[in-house]
Amino acid sequence: MSFPRRVEAVVFDMDGLLLDTETVYRAAMIDAGQAFGVPVTAATYASMVGKTNPECAVMLRDLYGETFPVKPFFERLWADVELLLEAEIRLKDGVQEILDHLDELGLPRAIATSNGLPAVERYLGRFDLLPRFHAVVAHDDVTRHKPHPDPYLLAAQRLGVDPLACLALEDSHPGVRAAHGAGMMTIMVPDILDPTEEMHEKCVHIADSLHVVLDLLKRAG
């Protein structure tokens, strides 16, 4: 497999792509559901992967009624997430290796995430990864979030690279739609969500891991 164009920069999603956080978020949401007396399932969580908190709030009220206490629910959820991540946060396999290779190639790279900048700094700071990225686009940097292309377009702008020359790495369906909509060559590295026919159509490749992405980059030269 070869890329349709020369790769001049790489834009990474964060949760589920750089960090093994989605399983932690899922466990915390299921536990919060039990605390609030609603049946949050793994499938419920999967339907929210890649979406912002306001979007998830709408989905929760659709599922559990307009009076569902979204604010206390999220407060409980994120408190649990912080406790779990203190003990369990891990890098996804292949992160260090792919960043090392990009260093060798001299390729600029960015993060485009729906998470807030404080979370990006807190989570990636534990692994001293932030200095290895040349730009970060977080939640407050755009008004339209994934699946809109805005986060990826801004990431390309901040890198000074044409979006068409960027490779985007994503694990979620909304993220793939955003990157593809920005015109980027997109690879899905599935985490919680399986690739659908739509994902296959929008991606230049579906990779089992970042190690596979690394091999593709090496073969591309």
**pLDDT (mean) for 71-94:** 88
13 is catalytic: yes
Q: How many other C-beta atoms lie within 10 A of the C-beta of residue 208?
A: 10
Predicted model pTM = 0.89
pLDDT tens readout for residues 4-25: 999 999 999 999 999 998 888 8
Do 127 and 185 lie in a common domain? yes
What domain count does the chain have? Answer: 2
Q: Are residues 70 and 162 in the same domain?
A: no
- Which one from 15, 80, 150, 191 is the annotated catalytic residue? 15
- The model's pLDDT over 99-156, given as tens digits with 9 standing for 90+, comes to 999 999 999 999 999 999 998 998 899 899 999 999 999 999 999 999 999 999 999 9
Shared-domain flag, residues 48 and 150: no
Q: Which of 13, 80, 171, 191 is catalytic?
A: 13
Residue range of the domain that includes 30: 22-88
Domain endpoint, select from 36, 68, 88:
88
Task: State whether 94 and 84 are in the same domain.
Answer: no
The question of whether 103 is a catalytic residue gets the answer: no
Round to whole Å and give the CA distance between 140 and 77. Answer: 21
